[in-house]
């Protein structure tokens, strides 16, 4: 069963309620017990007081009769004691010389009170003292706890002791505890139901949210609107909306890319078709030959375009390709050598400026593609007699690769659009697809490097600089 | 018949240029909007073939500019953007026809002929004039049901005059219809072609308008 927040919350809430309830019950019970004891002590003192005033005859008569504490209370007020067991109050009255004037006959077998040791006031549990010259205490006699009260009466010189079995099972205390606990015990299931419903209600926005998301079509990427929602659900909706908007942009970008790619492929296809038809209709073989050569050129161009599109798609998939240490200068030299024929044909000098061996950790095929595109671009846009320079150097933090030329360059207003897919500058020759620099930008991004554009050689042309942020070894 | 081709793609441009030449048109090829602008302000064209994806001046802008100048030359738009919306925008911006890439060269040429025909107020390709039957598309000329062989230049002059019946055509206008930019114009060439045409088709076909040029009178 998956973890349920509702169950978890219920458990927490109920554990808390039960704990607080138990503590309340315990403290109420103790409080009630203390109250009852205090009240019984007061009554005991009152009884002792009465005994000091009775004469010998009354005392003797009283000692013969049973005084049941339950009846005393019963007459006292509405809060009668409902104890099941009889609680006989025992007493002993001595005169000033210590002679026993009267005593309950049941007292003798208990063997309590051998004067004068018992005269000393005894501290009670709870350390409360009664200051009428007497002292109350819970004595242990006959194997059961007793409440005792001793009173020294000044005028008569009598010492009165009252003994009562301690009311250990007082219904007053337990009754109070029951009265407190009963409503709670009844309330608990109702409380549980209410809490369960409340929690369920609180989770309603989440349920609505999942229904809303469930009901969505794959293409439905507009933000979720649930009107006013709580501050707990809002961040979730915001996060989902943020994700949706990113997804939407990415899909729009993909669609634009696909549309642009299809559009770009149409142009070389149109060229191939036109040239093929020219070749078919050509009257002389020379013209036919020329047209067929152009058909081949067109096919080459389409193939290169498809290759570039595939590379971009692969880079977009974010697949990590294996990387290892590659020598930038070596790769640059390889590409320059490969482009030598083209450079010679256009009479462009390509120079490599690198005074050391610079290594970066990278994917060699991509680095090769990077150089290929940069140098290809430079050769494509430069005029006859221009220079192209590939420089590799290092500063404190990065290996810097610069490809610059003194060709026609790029207008400032176009610099920002150079890496846009399918963007071709106004001076662009017609063979470009407008993908070269966007591929460079993607590869640079892939390596976590930084791409910037500037002015080329002698304040003319274009400079493309790439900073690879990695430690290089000489 | 001189056509301005505005196309930035080398391979397509070369192909269309060759195809149009094969079909007997004189072609000027401008690679961007600015060059096309210049060409249109200096030369009279029978037709413009315009690619919309142009550097320096977008094709649509150029089309709007053309129409705002009051030039009513027929314009056939070529574009890789071939959706209905794109076509509608193109046509409403002043294009007379719209062809999506990749296109068929024969279709392009046929559409060019159709546009030219309409702009000359004809509904059929074949021009009949007195005892002459001239088919510019098939490049055949019959005089009293007898086929007459004509050179490409003679054709161009004949078609130019026959399609502008009653309107005298100046020498320079006729020269314009004969040559593209790259071609060297020979002096007196129009006179030579006109005299050849008179030999082949009868002396009364083309009348000389003194100080202006030549005319084929209305039938």
d(CA B198, CA A127): 149
Instruction: List phi, psi (to 5°) of A231.
Output: -70, -15
Domain boundaries for CATH 1.10.287.130 within chain A: 233-315
Q: What percent of chain B has pLDDT over 90?
A: 38
> Average pLDDT of A169-183?
71
Q: Which of B5, B7, B10, B12 to mutate to test the interface with A (most CBs of A within 10 A)?
A: B12
B2-119: what fold? Rossmann fold (3.40.50)
d(CA A301, CA A311): 15
> Average pLDDT of B42-57?
85
* Cα distance from N-terminal residue to C-terminal residue, chain B: 21
pTM of the model: 0.59
Q: What is the CATH number of domain A321-468?
A: 3.30.565.10
Q: Which of A261, A274, A291 to mutate to test the interface with B (most CBs of B within 10 A)?
A: A274
* Chain B CB within 8 Å of residue A255 CB: no
* Chain B CB within 8 Å of residue A287 CB: yes
Q: What is the mean pLDDT of chain A?
A: 77
Q: What confidence score (pLDDT) does residue B202 get?
A: 87
d(CA A315, CA A64): 112
Q: What is the CATH number of domain B127-215?
A: 1.10.10.10
Q: Which residues pair with B133 in a beta bridge?
A: B128, B142
Interchain CB distance below 8 Å, B105 and A269: no
Q: What confidence score (pLDDT) does residue A109 get?
A: 60
Collect all residues of chain B within an 8 Å Cβ-Cβ radius of residue A271: 9-12, 15
CATH class label, A5-107+128-176 = alpha beta
Res A193 pLDDT > 60 = yes
**Top mean-pLDDT range of A41-50, A163-172, A404-413, B81-90:** B81-90
- In this complex, the residue of A271, A277, A287 whose CB is nearest that of residue B11 is A271
b/e A47-80 (16+ beta carbons within 10 angstroms → b): bbbebbebeeeebeebbeeebbbbebbeeeeeee
Res A78 pLDDT > 50 = no
Res B105 pLDDT > 90 = yes
Interchain CB distance below 8 Å, B80 and A298: no
Q: Looking at chain B, which residue has its C-alpha nearest residue A284?
A: B22
> Average pLDDT of A398-407?
88
Res A324 pLDDT > 90 = no
A233-315: what fold? Helix Hairpins (1.10.287)
> pLDDT by residue (tens digit) across A249-280?
888 878 877 877 787 788 889 999 999 999 99
Domain boundaries for CATH 3.30.450 within chain A: 5-107+128-176
Q: Where are the domains of chain B?
A: 2-119, 127-215
> pLDDT by residue (tens digit) across B127-183?
888 889 988 888 889 998 899 998 888 888 898 899 888 899 998 888 888 877 667
| B192 C-beta neighbours (distance < 10 Å), count | 14
* Cα distance from N-terminal residue to C-terminal residue, chain A: 60
Domain boundaries for CATH 3.30.565.10 within chain A: 321-468
Q: What share of chain A is helix, strand, coil (3-state, %, to 5)?
A: 55, 15, 30
Q: What percent of chain A has pLDDT over 90?
A: 8
Q: Indicate the range of A423-427, A429-433, B142-146 predicted with least confidence.
A: A429-433
d(CA A23, CA A179): 15
| A463 C-beta neighbours (distance < 10 Å), count | 18
Position A76 confidence tier, pLDDT thresholds 50, 70, 90? very low
> pLDDT by residue (tens digit) across A12-46?
988 998 898 888 888 888 888 888 778 877 888 88
Res A138 pLDDT > 50 = no
| B48 C-beta neighbours (distance < 10 Å), count | 26
| A311 C-beta neighbours (distance < 10 Å), count | 18
- In this complex, the residue of B9, B18, B53 whose CB is nearest that of residue A287 is B18
Q: What share of chain B is helix, strand, coil (3-state, %, to 5)?
A: 40, 20, 40
Task: Outline where DSSP puts E strands in chain B.
Answer: 2-6, 26-30, 47-51, 75-79, 97-100, 127-129, 132-135, 140-143, 146-148, 169-170, 207-209, 213-215
Q: Are A92 and A102 in contact (CB under 8 A)?
A: yes
SS3 A371: helix
Q: What confidence score (pLDDT) does residue A83 get?
A: 52
Res A221 pLDDT > 60 = yes
Q: Which of A255, A264, A270 to mutate to test the interface with B (most CBs of B within 10 A)?
A: A270
Q: Which residues pair with B207 in a beta bridge?
A: B215
Q: How is B122-158 classified by DSSP, letter by letter? A: -SSS-EEETTEEEETTTTEEEETTEEE---HHHHHHH
Pair of tokens at residue A193: 């139901």
- CA B43 to each of CA A100, A434, B174: distance values in angstroms, whole numbers, following the listed order: 153, 33, 12
Q: What confidence score (pLDDT) does residue A423 get?
A: 72
**Top mean-pLDDT range of A97-111, A318-332, A334-348:** A334-348
- For strand A462-468 and strand A399-405, is the pairing parallel, antiparallel, or unpaired? antiparallel
> pLDDT by residue (tens digit) across B10-20?
889 999 999 99
Q: Indicate the range of A27-31, A139-143, A275-279, A373-377 predicted with least confidence.
A: A139-143
Q: What confidence score (pLDDT) does residue A296 get?
A: 93
């Amino acid at each position: 069963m998956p973890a349920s927040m509702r169950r978890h919350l219920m458990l927490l809430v109920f554990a808390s309620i039960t704990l607080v309830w138990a503590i309340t019950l315990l403290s109420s019970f103790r409080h009630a017990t203390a109250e009852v004891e205090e009240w019984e002590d007061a009554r005991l003192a009152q009884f002792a007081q009465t005994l000091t005033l009775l004469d010998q005859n009354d005392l003797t008569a009283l000692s013969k009769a049973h005084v049941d504490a339950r009846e005393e209370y019963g007459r006292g007020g509405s809060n009668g004691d409902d104890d099941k067991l009889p609680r006989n109050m025992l007493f002993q009255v001595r005169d000033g010389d210590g002679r026993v004037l009267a005593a309950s006959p049941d007292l003798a077998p208990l063997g309590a009170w051998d004067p004068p040791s018992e005269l000393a006031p005894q501290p009670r549990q709870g350390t409360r003292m009664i200051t009428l010259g007497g002292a109350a205490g819970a004595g242990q006699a006959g194997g059961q706890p007793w409440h005792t009260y001793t009173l020294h009466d000044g005028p008569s010189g009598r010492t009165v002791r009252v003994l009562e079995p301690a009311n250990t099972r007082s219904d007053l205390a337990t009754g109070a505890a029951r009265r407190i606990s009963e409503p709670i015990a009844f309330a608990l299931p109702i409380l549980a139901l209410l809490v369960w419903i409340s929690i369920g209600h609180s989770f309603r926005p989440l349920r609505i949210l999942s229904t809303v998301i469930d009901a969505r079509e794959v293409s439905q990427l507009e933000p979720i609107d649930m009107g006013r929602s709580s501050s707990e659900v809002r961040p979730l909706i915001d996060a989902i909306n943020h994700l949706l908007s990113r997804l939407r942009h990415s899909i729009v970008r993909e669609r634009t890319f696909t549309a642009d790619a299809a559009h770009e492929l149409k142009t070389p296809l149109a060229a191939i078709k036109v040239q093929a038809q020219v070749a078919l209709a050509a009257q002389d073989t020379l013209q036919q030959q020329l047209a067929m050569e152009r058909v081949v050129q067109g096919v080459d161009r389409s193939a290169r375009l498809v290759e570039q599109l595939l590379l971009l798609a692969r880079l977009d998939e974010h697949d990590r390709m294996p990387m290892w240490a590659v020598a930038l200068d070596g790769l640059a030299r390889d590409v320059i050598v490969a482009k030598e024929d083209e450079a010679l044909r256009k009479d462009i000098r390509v120079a490599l400026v690198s005074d050391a061996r610079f290594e970066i950790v990278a994917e060699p095929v991509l680095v090769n593609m990077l150089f290929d595109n940069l140098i290809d671009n430079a050769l494509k846009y430069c005029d006859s007699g221009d220079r192209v320079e590939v420089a590799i150097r290092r500063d404190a933090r990065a290996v810097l690769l610069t490809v610059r030329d003194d060709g026609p360059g790029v207008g400032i207003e176009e610099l920002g659009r150079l890496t846009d897919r399918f963007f071709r500058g106004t001076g662009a020759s017609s063979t470009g697809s407008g993908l070269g620099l966007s591929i460079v930008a993607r590869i640079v991004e892939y390596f976590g490097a930084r791409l910037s554009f500037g002015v080329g050689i002698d304040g003319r042309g274009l400079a493309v600089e790439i900073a690879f942020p990695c430690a290089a070894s000489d | 018949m001189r056509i301005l081709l505005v196309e930035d793609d080398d391979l397509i441009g070369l192909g269309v240029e060759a195809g149009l030449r094969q079909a007997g048109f004189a072609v000027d090829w401008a690679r961007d909007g600015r060059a096309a602008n210049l060409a249109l302000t200096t030369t009279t064209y029978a037709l413009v073939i315009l690619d919309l994806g142009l550097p320096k001046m977008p094709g649509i802008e150029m089309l709007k500019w053309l129409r705002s100048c009051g030039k009513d030359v027929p314009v056939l738009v070529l574009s890789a953007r071939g959706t209905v919306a794109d076509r509608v925008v193109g046509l409403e911006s002043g294009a007379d026809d719209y062809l999506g890439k990749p296109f068929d060269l024969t279709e392009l040429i046929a559409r060019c002929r159709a546009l030219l025909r309409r702009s000359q107020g004809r509904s059929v390709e074949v021009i009949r004039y007195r005892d002459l039957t001239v088919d510019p598309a098939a490049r055949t000329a019959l005089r009293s049901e007898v086929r007459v062989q004509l050179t490409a230049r003679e054709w161009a002059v004949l078609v130019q005059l026959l399609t502008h019946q009653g309107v005298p055509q100046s020498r320079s206008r006729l020269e314009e219809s004969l040559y593209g930019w790259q071609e060297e114009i020979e002096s007196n060439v129009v006179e030579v072609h006109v005299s050849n045409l008179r030999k082949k088709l009868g002396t009364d076909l083309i009348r000389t308008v003194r100080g202006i040029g030549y005319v084929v009178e209305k039938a």
